[in-house]
Chain A
Amino acid sequence: MKITLTINGERREVDASPWKRLLDLVREDLRLTGTKEGCGEGECGACSVMLDGEVVNSCLVAAGQCDGRTVTTVEGLAHGDVLHAVQRELVACGGAQCGICTPGIAVCAAHVVDRGLIRGKNDHEARETVRALLAGNICRCTGYQLIVDAVVNAARETR
């Protein structure tokens, strides 16, 4: 079927099976390979993208469902060379190691930061909020500590 969607601010039309995964549509048809596949079962979050303003696992979304919708991938977070606060802090804090989970984490973290969801009376509560909100993104390299640092910093900057 013909699928028209807005991807990172750009309107695109692709011809694909409605059963195709949004993940594959993005990677294969739209050639945006920043979105990664870690498991194909909605467990690891590496394929996270924003769909109509919510963060979703793109491996669990059928392409047909994206017709007429708006998708933002990791490629759409920065404005030109200006990184999103979350991206900047992930680099500065050492929150990216092997980097394969990083696009998904950047997307999810940017979403929760931009929505102002990271609240807490103190640093401890803010960190616990980050841990709860990002629990759908698995990272095997960092032990999460430096990612939490980065997201808390980004939230503080953005506030």
Chain B
Amino acid sequence: MPRIDGVAKVTGRARYLDDLDAPGVWYGATVRSTVAHGVLEAIDLDPGFDWSRVVVATAADVPGQNYIALIENDQPALVAVGKPVMHVDEAIALVAAPTKELAMAAAKAVRPRVRGLPAVFSVEDSLAANEKLYGTDNVFKQFMIRKGHASDADFEAVIAKAAHVIEGTYYTSPQEQMYIEPQAMMAEWRDGRCHIVGSMQCPYYVHKAMKPLLGLGAEDVVITQSVTGGGFGGKEEYPSMLAAHVAVLAKKAGRAVKIVYDRDEDIAATTKRHPAYTRHRLAVDQRGDVLAIDVDCVMDGGAYLTLSPVVLSRGVLHAAGPYRCPVVRVRGRVVATNHPPHGAFRGFGAPQTTFAYERQIEKLAIHLGEDPLQLRKRLALRKGDTTATGQELGFSVGTDEVIAAVERVAGPPPVREGTGPNGEPLRRGRGYVFYFHGAGFTGSGESRLAGRATVARTTSGRYEVRSSSTDIGQGAITIFTQIASQALGVDASLIDVIDPTTSLVPDSGPTVASRTCMVVGGLVERAAKELREKLPSAPAGEEVAVTMQYEPPPGIHFDDATYTGAAYPCFGWACCLVDVTVDLDTYEARVDRCVQAIDVGKAINPVIVKGQIEGGTLQALGWALLENIVYREGKVANANMTNCIVPTFADAPDLETILVEVPYPFGPSGAKGVGEIPMDGPAAAVANAVGDALGCAFDGIPILPEVIAASRARWS
């Protein structure tokens, strides 16, 4: 089934926030800090500026509590006078005016006075805690997984018995989501209610944040998602900040106010993937079987806690990888710095630790002289094995299928030496990775969240799917239509997936964590099935609605205190092959071939699934080779699309995607999450391939030409 919103999108009829008609709307702009750390002493208005047609708002104008409610309420919507400024480009004041030009000019005429304080930009300095940004130790959150040992001494005793220990420290860089529609939001107050519409992944996150901030009850805040031009995690938490800003401005201006970020502002001020340092030890016995895995991961959380604990949690839970190992110790910490807060991005911590473990496995293969794919096959988790948290894998483990799928198409590795069209010497190499990704929320998250979705037959005789899951391009509307159509036994043309508006749809949970199809789609399927049973006895012409709430699959329990048990309802499994060519004149590596075989449970819409995998794959290849955030004194120094680059058509190889289906018994038609998994593995595959080409290790990304140039002495 082709995408339902496809025609609207190819004809330009789909209306994104900035396309919506809003008579009399004013435009907002944000006054931001130029200082990374300090105290806001005053906000001065240029007396020479004509303020008569401008509204200025500061923290004093926030009607309720001045924080963005999320996990911890540490981040203000606007820095108040007398309070700390924690990062460059933090919002200090707002202006609104009848034109964008006037708003921009007014923003420049607002002059915050900030007394500077020493700033912290590295995780080492943060851990040293000379400057306290958060608590006494600057650690936002720490997690520990222990498997097969009671104490550090026990653990070290196992390591001491190993025939060999592979050890390395791996760095993964911050990454910009670079959705092509910048953040955009509009608010209007009508009859004491605040209506907010905008580009977002999670209407109920915004709803939750706006209630205390605006001092309103649940009914008096109405949040609607407009057609959203990409998210990738970047529109998970940050839209609450924009919502706060437009709501405060709209209240003060007494009219609708819209904020659409410029690209440069969006790159500079909004969240990025957490940069991470991961130390990894892999202890093996004489036969090359894994005895113990030790991981210590430190992420830079930036200036506020935001979603960092959850990102870290996922990173920690994936850190030991999909490999059998009796003894595992994983420690994870996320620390405060004066960078703009890092946050959600597809993969959510897992790509960072996946990079580390798949580099380690590669080094083990080199050490053992074993074929890298055969080694992975030998060590991989299968049905009946237990993960690092002691979760026994009972079903839907596609290990053998994904590895076999890649083996079938791999062919011979590229010829190592060659010459390019300009006579430049070339080196080629191949890299493999095998990896997994937990689908849905971590641990008891889904049960706590208790997401709901409704399927109804309306008075008009049509059918409605009501959920807060947003279509951010991943195809939720189409998938829900297909699921409901099949479960109801009615034609898809009779089904409407209604726009997520908090006053009209139940809270299905956020559109994150590869959970929309698997979890919310599962609710839609169950609700539709039950509705189908009810309809024969229901009076005609009346609305009949069935709402379903999430129930965990039987036997799924997780202990948050000890970090043991079933971390995820199920996992996706993946194997990836990458061939690269390195130009030895320019030190540029290019991906010639990328094969991804991914176990998705069941592809409800194979074209959409393929699109998800390929999009995630290219984001991972970009992260590996060319995407880069240059921070200078806490400021993004390359905050524009000219210098903060992502791959173009010409940078992308033809992507070979193999869908593998090992059904998840509790997902709709057997489907499980697919949104994030393709992001996790390819970066390490690229590093392994470049390493193969040049005969030396690349333990950090991005592997820019500058990095390859600097590695010359190590080539072999």
Contact, chains A and B (beta carbon distance below 8 A): yes
Q: Does A65 contact B (CB under 8 A)?
A: no
Q: Let me know if A36 and B181 touch, CB within 8 A.
A: yes
Question: Does B180 contact A138, Cβ atoms closer than 8 Å?
Answer: yes
Please classify how large the interface on chain A is, using the bins under 10, 10 to 19, 20 to 34, 35 or more: 35 or more
Check: A131 CB closer than 8 A to any chain B CB. yes
| A145 and B641 in contact, given A46-B180, A90-B10, A96-B3 (Cβ under 8 angstroms) | no
- Shortest CB distance B9–A (Å): 3
| Residue B652 at the chain A interface, CB threshold 8 Å | yes
Residue A60 CB within 8 A of the other chain: no
The verdict on A98 contacting B180 (CB below 8 Å), with A33-B15, A73-B12, A83-B10 known, is: yes
In the complex the two chains form, is B3's CB within 8 Å of A33's CB? Answer: no
Which of the listed residues A87, A102, A141, A142 has the most CB atoms from chain B within 10 Å of its own CB? A141
User: Given contacts A74-B12, A91-B3, A91-B7, are A98 and B229 in contact (CB under 8 A)?
Assistant: yes
Write the chain B residue with the least CB distance to A101.
B180
Which residue of A is nearest B643, CB measured? Answer: A43
Q: Decide yes or no whether A78 CB sits under 8 A from chain B.
A: yes
**CA of A138 to CA of B622, assembled, Å:** 13
CA distance A46 to B9 in the complex (A): 12
Contact A39/B263 with A87-B10, A90-B10, A145-B614 known, Cβ cut-off 8 Å: yes
Would you call B229 and A100 a contact (CB within 8 A)?
A: yes
Given contacts A130-B649, A148-B649, contact A102 B655 (CB under 8 A): no
Which residues of A76-132 are within 8 A (CB) of B? 77-78, 83, 86-87, 90-94, 96-103, 106, 127, 130-132
Enumerate chain A residues within 8 angstroms of B654, measured Cβ to Cβ.
127, 145, 148
Contact between A41 and B10 (Cβ–Cβ < 8 Å)? no
Is there contact, CB below 8 Å, between A36 and B641?
no
Chain B residues whose CB sits within 8 angstroms of the CB of A142 once the complex forms: 611, 614-615, 618
Q: Do the beta carbons of A92 and B2 come within 8 Å of each other? A: yes
User: In the docked arrangement, what's the CA distance between A96 and B616, Å?
Assistant: 15
A13 CB–B CB distance under 8 Å: no
Q: State A139–B232 Cα separation when bound (angstroms).
A: 13
Given contacts A36-B180, A94-B608, A141-B615, contact A78 B230 (CB under 8 A): no
A138 to B7, CA, bound (A): 20
Q: Are B181 and A102 in contact (CB under 8 A)?
A: no
**Chain A hits for B15, CB < 8 A:** 33
| Pair B615/A143 contact, Cβ less than 8 Å | yes
Contact B10 A102 (CB under 8 A): yes
A residues 138-152 touching B (CB-CB < 8 Å):
138-148
Q: Does A32 contact B (CB under 8 A)?
A: yes
Contacts A34-B13, A36-B229, A99-B227 given; does A140 touch B641 at CB 8 Å: no
A138 neighbours in B (Cβ, 8 Å): 178, 180, 641, 646, 648
Q: Does B642 contact A (CB under 8 A)?
A: yes
Most buried by B among A34, A83, A100: A100
**B16 within 8 Å of A by Cβ?**
yes
A86 to B11, CA, bound (A): 11
Does A35 reach chain B (CB closer than 8 Å)? yes
Contact (Cβ within 8 A) A141 B12? no
**In the complex, are the beta carbons of B614 and A38 less than 8 A apart?**
no
CB-based contact A91/B10 at 8 Å:
yes
CB distance from B179 to the nearest CB of A (A): 6
Does A135 contact B648, Cβ atoms closer than 8 Å?
A: yes
B450 at the interface (CB under 8 A from A): no
Per-residue interface assignment for chain B, residues 1 to 21, with 1 indicating a CB less than 8 Å from any chain A CB and 0 otherwise: 011011111111111101100
Check A99–B5 contact: CB distance below 8 A.
Answer: yes
**Which chain A residues border B3 with CB–CB below 8 Å?**
91, 94, 96-97
9 cross-chain pairs, A with B, having the tightest CB-CB distances, nearest first: A34-B12, A98-B473, A100-B229, A99-B9, A143-B614, A143-B618, A33-B19, A91-B6, A97-B473
Taking Cβ atoms with an 8 Å cutoff, the residues of B that contact A are 2-3, 5-16, 18-19, 177-182, 227-232, 262-263, 472-475, 607-608, 610-611, 613-619, 640-642, 646, 648-650, 652, 654-655, 657
Extra contacts besides A91-B10, A98-B473 (6): CB < 8 Å: A40-B263, A78-B11, A97-B475, A131-B650, A141-B615, A145-B610
Q: Can you pick out 21 interface pairs between chain A and chain B where the beta carbons lie within 8 Å of each other?
A: A33-B19, A36-B180, A41-B642, A74-B11, A75-B12, A83-B7, A87-B7, A87-B10, A91-B3, A99-B9, A101-B229, A103-B9, A103-B12, A134-B649, A136-B648, A140-B615, A142-B615, A144-B614, A144-B649, A146-B607, A146-B610
